Amino acid sequence: MARLVMVIDTRKCVGCMDCVVACKTENNVPEGFNRDWITTEVLGKSPNLQMEIRSERCNHCDNPPCVYCCPTGASHIHDYGGVILVEHELCIGCKACLASCPYDARFIHPDGYADKCTFCIHRVEKGMNPACVDVCPTHCMYFGDIDDPESRVSKLISTRKYHTNIPEAGTKPQIYYLT
């Protein structure tokens, strides 16, 4: 079975925010909210400082607290690719999942349900990439099946150094940042 992940090369990301705009447009994300965002972090010790620019979103965790805490089953693991999704009709807007997510990846949509990145599953199930991946002008984002040893994402994380965000939270995040 496929396990869909994203690999992002922080050495190629320039922080242009095209991914953020593409997501808002593709998913009709309401004004004042975002499903993805840019984070910058200064790493290293002076004088050897380096700024990492990261395109961040829901990490589609392998151990997702947002799914385990949901009282209605709205928050769930999709049967294709292990993507974490929210069934809008089942969501009662209780915000338990917002509180459980260490990445602050969720928000309550003005229509009353918990919302966040879906890895553009509506595109992916048609064989396309998430919108953010396709629009990136530096081609720093890769999307694919980490269970397939021949996939680009598998080859990248087996040959490059990488980190994930807040691994100590134990959520097993599935976005890998190449360094």
Q: Which residues bind ligand SF4 (CB under 6 A)?
A: 58-61, 64-66, 69-72, 74-75, 84, 86, 91-97, 101, 103, 105-106, 114, 116, 171
44: left (phi over 0), alpha (psi -120 to 50) or beta: left
Q: Which is nearer to ligand SF4, 69 or 121 (CB)?
A: 69
CB of 26 to ligand SF4, least distance (A): 18
CB of 108 to ligand SF4, least distance (A): 7
CB of 25 to ligand SF4, least distance (A): 21
Distance CA(23)–CA(80), nearest Å, equals 21
- 98 contacts 106 by C-beta, under 8 angstroms: yes
Q: Which is nearer to ligand SF4, 11 or 62 (CB)?
A: 62
CB of 36 to ligand SF4, least distance (A): 12
Q: Which of 177, 174, 176, 149 is nearest to 4 (CA)?
A: 174
Q: Is 45 exposed, middle or buried (0-12, 13-18, 19+ CB in 10 A)?
A: exposed
Q: Which is nearer to ligand SF4, 2 or 16 (CB)?
A: 2
Q: Which is nearer to ligand SF4, 96 or 136 (CB)?
A: 96
Q: Which is nearer to ligand SF4, 75 or 129 (CB)?
A: 75
CB of 74 to ligand SF4, least distance (A): 4
Q: Which of 71, 78, 85, 92 is nearest to 27 (CA)?
A: 85
- C-alpha pair distances (Å), 45 with each of 115, 136, 147, 176: 38, 30, 36, 23
